[in-house]
Structure 1
């Protein structure tokens, strides 16, 4: 699953899609992620995996907003991404992060749409997956842990997917102590739904 997604990110830099079209769909994807996080997941103590999940946990434990944390924590990975995936990848990824930050800020005054866990997980996870899938499909990313997984997999016997699962196991395990066991389980299920939707989103038509 992750291998195909990462290959798509790398290969998309050479596809003949105009930059303006990429920007449009990356912005749309970031807005969908903002809706999912702000109106479904975060205020129900449900988080995503990767750097987004770490940013949400740290934001919950501190007075910092999620957006600046997301940019700060992703910065080292974006520098690596510049070397391996090019300027356009970094530009689109930073655009996605800033758009997500802005979207979450604009949606913060609005109440959460539901507290029903089945709707939160199902709808929130689906919207999250669609949003991230659009960002990936058009050449950007919100999560630098996958770039790290690429580099580590080249130097060890573990695969990219195994490294990503290890990172997220640590993140969801940590969320147990912050939000509780039930919320950590909900986060894991949401994560599985979202990344299956991402796989569908990035497939060639």
Structure 2
């Protein structure tokens, strides 16, 4: 019988696999259109655009310094699941363009799809005790140490990222990208409720 409070190993595995796969697919949409996004993935996308390096290796490397903070703030179980999610997403993001291509993809529709798919991916990861690492961990750590709200840290980081993006992309592209980021955040805000979903 399934435990109503805790996920089984297989439930966690499928949830993390789903989240990582959908996140990789969303990044494929994003980078195909030359758009940007926020958080750690957004930083990796900008580094990728600026250097020509692949998103997957950059995303994996950027997350490495954050695992110690994640261990201190969330524990070994969270870090192990997050490492698995980040590693799988990084690998799949390198393979996905070989499997998926787009003959026609309107940038606004693509941004909306990116936002909805990314939001569902993150929800799956959150509900199985994982994340895609990075800035969210730092934000929670700073909130614990200083009282500065995690949401404000993430907002300031994203604002900086989008400002930098204007040096690499034109204003319409960055504006469409902001729409995608808004959909990601709305999807999580509306659907991620600990008081309604308690399994971990």
Query: Same fold by TM-score, threshold 0.5 exceeded?
Result: yes
Is 2:162 the partner of 1:172? yes
CA distance in 2: counterparts of 1:114 and 1:199, whole angstroms:
30
The more displaced of 136-145 and 15-24 is 15-24
CA distance in 2: counterparts of 1:44 and 1:189, whole angstroms:
14
Please give the root-mean-square deviation of Cα atoms over the aligned residues, in Å. 1.7
How do 1:35-114 residues align onto structure 2 when only pairs under 5 Å count?
35-38=25-28, 40-109=29-98, 110-112=100-102, 114=104
The answer to whether the 8 A contact 1:134-1:202 is kept is no
CA distance in 2: counterparts of 1:200 and 1:21, whole angstroms:
23
Q: Aligned pair in 2 of structure 1 residues 113, 96: CA closer, same or farther (>3 Å)? A: farther
CA distance in 2: counterparts of 1:115 and 1:149, whole angstroms:
34
Q: TM-score, normalised by structure 2?
A: 0.87
Q: TM-score, normalised by structure 1?
A: 0.85
Partner of 1:19: 9
> Which structure is higher in helix share?
1
Partner of 2:121: 131
> In the comparison of the two structures, how many residue pairs are matched?
190
Deviation track 1:127-179 (CA, whole Å, cap 9, x = no partner) reads 11111111111111113111111222234453111111000000111111112
**Displacement over 4 Å in runs of 4+:** none
CA distance in 1: counterparts of 2:104 and 2:133, whole angstroms:
26
Partner of 1:187: 177
Helix, strand or coil at the partner of 2:155: helix
- Structure 2 residue ranges without an equivalent (≥5): none
Structure 1 position 117, deviation (Å): 2.2
The answer to whether the 8 A contact 2:71-2:79 is kept is yes
Match of 1:32 among 8, 22, 27: 22
